[in-house]
Structure 1
């Protein structure tokens, strides 16, 4: 019985492979052009929906990282390790104590510090880039290098008002235009964590 089923299946496959108009074999037409024309349609391209891309703010990126890396923020958490309950005595959270001394906890805190630095950089760029675009007459590569070389700290941006920031941009712009070659040479060298 198995032989008959196998032989009929073999016959069926051979028959349809030889018969090009069968169920499994479709005739193909080859074109030497960029798009393939379908039968019955006059258009040779497809229309795609428009896509709008919106830049995320620094706070949105930070919240997204906190959501995506929950375990990193759990393992790096060592706050409120020892508490004093109202009934008296001392309460020690063993998970946070383990997080404090484990390798996984140290690595998590290191990654958290990196995330915080990126968040601060995003906050600086969120305010610094529009100001330099609007109040400096630079563009292209020179604007990019000006932004890198004269980028202020987050503390300075928070403490000063808009007029002081604009005055800082104008002062830095005059310094930059006086010594463009020197600044461009300095930015070519790998700096690492060195401050200029």
Structure 2
């Protein structure tokens, strides 16, 4: 059954936060991530909340997290962006060897934990959040960005971004369930935001 609710873009507010300063707000993000991971079968329900929190990069000042809230106050979606630096990026846990050369050649950003609530899924909201992500990558002065995602989403990400899948592996998020994941590398110059779909985002 489709539980999505018809909405216009004006029904949503976009906020950019420093997750290290917003622990209570990040709980909502982690709860939505846990629900999505468990629903997709990527983690056991018992460990979903533990897996949804990233103790290294949720607390990093190199990370910014976007909150997409419906006018009702419910969290409709979120994603995070981490700029590469001395602390690294989340993607390095799984693809460090594959990124050695690229890290020397490019100023990288890592987009991660992209998610939408099933209640608010829409092509418009996905397109809008994608354009905000591309704009944030530009603002970080990154000339390339990297993403990693479950293999079932390869075609989706190929439609959303111009890039190449350069590696795949199998990981486990909870120590039990094996998840096949792919690494995509995209050059910023080939992934410009479309200004008509760029929302106003309040920095908090």
TM-score range with shorter-chain normalisation?
under 0.3
TM-score by length of 2: 0.23
The structure whose residues are more often strand, as a share, is 2
Higher relative contact order (CA 8 A, sep 6+): 2
The structure whose residues are more often helix, as a share, is 1
TM-score by length of 1: 0.24
